[in-house]
Each structure stands twice: as C-alpha cells, then as structure tokens.
Amino acid sequence: MKKLFSKSPIFHYTFVLTIISLVCGLLIGGINAVTAPVIERNLLKAKVESYESVLKNIDSFDEIEVTNDYPGSIKSVVKGKDSSGKVLGYIYEAYGTNSYGSMTIIGSVDEDGVFLGLQFLTIEQTLGVDFTRTNLSYYVGANIDQITPSNDLISGATGSLSTFQGLLSDIASAHRLSMGEIEVDPLEVIYGSGYVLEVDAGFTPTAHIIQKRNVKVGHDVVGYVYDLQGEGVYFNATDSIVLEVYFNLDDEIVEIYLPEDAYNHSGGNFRNRIVSYVKEYIGLTLDDLTAAVDGPLGNDIATGSSNSKALVDTLLKALVSEVE
C-alpha cells in the first residue's frame, strides 16, 4: 500500500479524502440520529403546549386526517377532549406566507363554531409582530360565520393582518368540513332560500359596470347586484378583475365577491388580502362609498397588494359615479 501511495500520489490523496468523508458522514449521521428525535420531541412539546394555551382543560386529543378537501394552509387538525372524554373543541394548525415572511396559527373552535383560542405557533414578520399578536387576540370569541374582531384593530402591520385573516377564513372552512357541514351560500342567508339572479335588461352597461342583475325570490325583487370589471397593473403584467357588489332594497352593500375564475391578478395570499379588504365596505351605501375609499378606511387598510387594491378602489368609485 505504501509503495502504491508513493507511486501514485493522486491515489493517496483520493484515499485520504474518501476516509475523511466516510468519517464525517458517520459523525453527521450519528449526530442526526441523536438530535432528530430530540428536535421532534421539542416540536411536539411546543405543539401540545400551544394546544393547552388555546383549549382550556384539554387532557387528550385525536388526530384527524387532513385530506385534499381541506384548504391548503391547514397543516393539522385534532379533536381535543377533557379528562372524561368529552369533546371540548377542534384545534387547527394553519400556515401562511407573505412578502414579510411566514406565520403559523394554532386556533381552537368549539362545536358551535366559536373561536375559543388563537395563538401564533410561529411568526416571522419584519414589521409589527406585537401589533399582529394583539390583533389576532381580538378574534377570540368570534363565530366562523362572521369573523369580526371584538375591538378596533391596530394599524401598522396590515400585510400580516391580511395574511392571518385569510388563515382564519381557512380554519372556518376546515371546521365546517370537520363537523360534516355543507357549505352555506351566504347570499341565501342574506336574501332567503330559493333566490335567483336575473339580468336587468333595462340597464345600459357603462365603462366599468358590465351588467346589473336583480335578486328575486319568487316574483319579488329583494335586492340587486352590479358586476364591475376593470384592468390594471400587477407586478410586471396587466390584467382584469371582476367585482360583484350586492345590495339590499335599502341600498346597503350586503356582500362583495371577487369571483376566483375572473380574478386575473396574483392569487393565494395576495388575493386573500383583497378579499378581506373589500369586506370592510359591507354595510355602506353608495352615498358612503367614495368617502370611505378616499378616507381612513381605504387608506388605513394597506393590503400588501397595492396595485390590485388600487384597481378595486377605482371600481368602487366607478360604481358611484357611473350609477349616479
């Protein structure tokens, strides 16, 4: 072997490097074998502690399989029980990202659909982490059918706010699935069972309003909806968004939809932010709308999707100017 090394230095160096690589590989493998279970136990411990923080008196839990029917943000679902085996609620782990980083929420929901507890398992955001934690706490006690805060939200971290609001919406959808519920059409709740949408043939389309439809139950008109479409820049492209604004007979906005199949700007959390943004205008009338868009409401709610928001604002203002 010595003669071989002296005759072929390259073989010598290759042999030495191979031995070093094998030793390092064994060391790394040994360290990983020791540390991986410790890391896994620590993560499990943190998760169990978070379960206890969002669901009081939890003694045990059963894992529920997260199928493809669940929103993509939902990473785990468990059914929490007390010491007697009584179901206290369901706990959801939801993960989301935005341009500021990522976050994971742990939230518990009881069988009546009420958020019992909410907490960040992890939050990696560049701005307003403390504000975001406080804002999340304001949603404890809200019902999944109307996810509204119990207090005025703190401004200054609206990108994070929009992201976790989207995650709360995903938790609501996941909970309905866990409870075996059928998704309820919000418009049916607003207008009544058996409503239909009928195109108003007497309406003349405008620059942004492509049609008006009447909402009818039987022969009675119970509301109406304007369908708006506009084109705007997002990132390095230009494309369109469709906005459906629903009114009752008191001319109040009762719902705003952004149909996903007609939303041609960035999807995912970017779209979730815009969806959360437009919901803030529910309850206003046409007379209130322009002032709201130009005022504190429109300016305070920065969505993190500024170009898409600007297009939505244009459409909302057009709804006022082109109807009147």
Largest Cα–Cα separation, the chain: 103
Among 145, 253, 225, 148, which residue's Cα sits nearest to residue 189? 145
What are the C-alpha distances in Å from 106 to residues 94, 102, 135, 136? Answer: 7, 14, 15, 11
Mean pLDDT for 287-316 is 76
Q: Which helix (H) or strand (E) element contains residue 178?
A: helix 158-178
39 vs 143, which has greater pLDDT?
143
Best CA proximity match to 183, nearest among 66, 70, 280: 70
DSSP track, 194-208? T-EEEE-TTPPP-SS
Collapsing DSSP to helix, strand or coil, 181 comes out as coil
- Convert the pLDDT of each residue in 44-103 to its tens digit: 666 667 788 999 998 888 889 998 889 999 999 999 998 898 999 999 999 998 888 899
Number of residues that this document lists for the chain? 324
Helix (H, G, I), strand (E, B) or coil at 115: strand
- Residue 28: predicted pLDDT: 67
- Which amino acid makes up residue 266? S
153-208 pLDDT, tens per residue?
Answer: 887 777 788 889 889 999 999 999 998 865 668 898 899 989 999 999 999 999 99
At 35, is the secondary structure helix, strand, or coil? helix
Per-domain residue ranges for the chain? 2-51, 60-178, 186-323
Asked if 258 contacts 274 with a C-beta cutoff of 8 angstroms, the reply is yes
Q: Which residues lie across from 227 on neighbouring strands? A: 211, 244
The more confidently predicted of residues 266 and 232 is: 232
Euclidean distance between CA atoms 283 and 247, whole angstroms: 9
**What is the overall mean pLDDT for the chain?**
84
Q: Are 89 and 28 in contact (CB under 8 A)?
A: no
Q: What mean pLDDT is predicted for residues 270-277?
A: 78
Could you give the CA distance from residue 247 to residue 287 in angstroms, rounded to a whole number? 13
